[in-house]
A and B are shown apart, each in its own frame.
Chain A
Amino acid sequence: EPEVTQTPSHQVTQMGQEVILRCVPISNHLYFYWYRQILGQKVEFLVSFYNNEISEKSEIFDDQFSVERPDGSNFTLKIRSTKLEDSAMYFCASSEAPGDEQYFGPGTRLTVT
Chain B
Amino acid sequence: EDQVTQSPEALRLQEGESSSLNCSYTVSGLRGLFWYRQDPGKGPEFLFTLYSAGEEKEKERLKATLTKKESFLHITAPKPEDSATYLCAVQPPGGGTALIFGKGTTLSVSS
Do A and B come from the same complex? no
Query: Chain B interface (Cβ within 8 Å of chain A)?
Result: none
Query: Chain A interface (Cβ within 8 Å of chain B)?
Result: none
